[in-house]
């Protein structure tokens, strides 16, 4: 039944396969029996295998068991869930927060609820490079939907002005804090100016900013010192914090309406209490060990500057996400495979994850990458890139 579709994907070099990791998540892992330096993980601060996270989860399992047994509105809300949500609200400097099973769940539930409450027949605008979970969430609402060109605040301003004049209804503008495939930072001050002039609402999905951006790791909104002006955001616990799940932070009334309206929250089994215990431990480490974030940025600066010196196109990244633009999916796969053979794991990113003609490697930096690992990786990128004619 699916043979032809799979053959078409294979023919166009777009067929994806799972790659089995056989060790704990760290700067070096074992994939299919081969030890490789890992450059594909969102474990930016190296917390996924931290002893304190493991200890916190084990302690919670011993006390509460593993499964939560029910949805949050039945008997699945446990004390650790509430402790985590109180801590997340304090972390985000908002009135309240609500934990979700994943970033996908959080975005689905929040966007559906916002469009119902703010403007059931209004306009939703999103940056063209937004994550699939944001786009999917918008598509299943009844709202009209338009994308604006990536980072093009001038076009966004024009779209908002036209809508405000003709429809007299509010709009919802959606963006990522750090764009997950390009690594660039959204210009939040400019976006906020557009929003304020049109009386619209801005939603920031800061999945890749939490733990990484800002003076204390609170994310992209802190980076721009806009926490008092942008009250609604989503964030993840499964990237820099090394755990799983996600959260929405915002006004108290928003959180209460999500509890009552967000289908992706209501109709799913609550995450295990151990997840909340580990996330609480991760937040403590984030606040107590700023040197982790500092080391992450030292590694980022070193790797990025050297990749540029080698002649690679790293696009406009400003984050620990370092895209290496190749273009053709076949060459990108070949590049990734040769890196793997030499002990570097950096998977090929191809359409539909990125636009056609922009296939790339997506290098993710971690605080736990050692200098020798970075130097070996750069030497390998130089040799393989030259052998394939990608650089000279």
Using N-to-C axis directions, what is the helix angle for 188-198 and 153-167, rounded to 10°? 10
Catalytically annotated residue among 200, 239, 319, 336? 239
- Looking at the DSSP assignment, which residues form a beta bridge with residue 215? none
Q: Is 176 a catalytic residue?
A: yes
Distance in angstroms (rounded) separating the CA atoms of residues 288 and 217: 11
> Angle formed by the axes of helices 290-310 and 371-387, to 10°?
20
Pairing, β 201-205 against β 171-176: parallel
List the catalytic residue out of 205, 222, 364, 369. 205
What is the phi/psi pair of residue 343, to 5°? 90, 20
DSSP 321-335: EEEEEEE-HHHHHHH
Distance CA 322, CA 361 (A): 8
Active site annotation includes 289: no
Cis amide bond preceding 352, omega within 30: yes
Instruction: List the catalytic residue out of 81, 131, 157, 223.
Output: 131
Cβ–Cβ < 8 Å for 271, 246? no
The kind and range of the H/E element at 158 are helix 153-167
CA distance 215 to 263: 35
Q: Give the active site residue among 107, 180, 198, 319.
A: 180
CB atoms within 10 A of CB 379: 13
Q: Which is catalytic among the residues 40, 50, 105, 176?
A: 176
Q: Is 105 a catalytic residue?
A: no
Query: Which residue in the list 42, 143, 198, 264 is annotated as catalytic?
Result: 42
81 noted as active-site residue: no
Active site residue 131: yes
Residues with catalytic roles: 42, 131, 176, 180, 205, 208, 239
């Amino acid at each position: 039944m699916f043979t032809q579709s799979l053959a078409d994907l294979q023919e166009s070099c777009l067929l994806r396969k799972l790659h089995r990791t056989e060790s704990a998540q760290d700067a070096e892992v074992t994939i299919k029996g081969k030890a490789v330096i890992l450059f594909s993980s969102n474990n930016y601060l190296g917390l996924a295998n931290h002893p304190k996270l493991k200890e916190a989860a084990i302690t919670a399992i011993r006390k509460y068991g593993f499964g939560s047994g029910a949805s949050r509105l039945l008997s699945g809300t446990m004390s650790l869930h509430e402790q985590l949500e109180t801590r997340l609200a304090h972390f985000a400097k908002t009135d309240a927060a609500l934990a979700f099973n994943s970033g996908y769940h959080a975005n689905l539930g929040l966007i559906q609820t916002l469009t119902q409450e703010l403007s059931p027949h209004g306009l939703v605008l999103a940056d063209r490079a937004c994550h699939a979970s944001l786009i999917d969430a918008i598509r299943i609402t009844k709202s009209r939907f338009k994308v604006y060109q990536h980072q093009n605040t001038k076009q966004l301003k024009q779209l908002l002005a036209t809508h405000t004049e003709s429809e007299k209804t509010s709009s919802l503008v959606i963006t990522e804090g750090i764009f997950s495939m390009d690594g660039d930072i959204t210009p939040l001050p400019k976006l906020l100016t557009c929003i304020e002039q049109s009386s619209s609402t801005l939603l920031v999905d800061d999945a890749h900013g939490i733990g990484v951006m800002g003076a204390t790791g609170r994310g992209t909104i802190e980076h721009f010192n806009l926490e008092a002006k942008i009250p609604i955001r989503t964030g993840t616990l499964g990237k820099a914090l090394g755990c799983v799940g996600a959260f929405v932070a915002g006004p108290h009334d928003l959180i209460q309406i999500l509890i009552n309206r967000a289908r992706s929250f209501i109709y799913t089994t609550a995450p295990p209490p151990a997840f909340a215990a580990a996330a609480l431990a991760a937040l403590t480490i984030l606040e107590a060990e700023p040197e982790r974030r500092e080391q992450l940025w030292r590694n980022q600066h070193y790797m990025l500057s050297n990749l540029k010196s080698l002649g690679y196109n790293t696009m406009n990244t400003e984050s620990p996400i370092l895209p290496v633009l190749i273009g053709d999916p076949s060459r990108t796969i070949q590049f990734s495979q040769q890196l793997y053979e030499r002990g570097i794991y950096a998977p090929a990113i191809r359409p539909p994850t990125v636009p056609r003609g922009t296939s790339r490697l997506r290098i993710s930096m971690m605080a736990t990458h050692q200098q020798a690992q970075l130097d070996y990786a750069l030497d390998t990128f130089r040799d393989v890139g030259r052998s394939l004619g990608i650089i000279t």
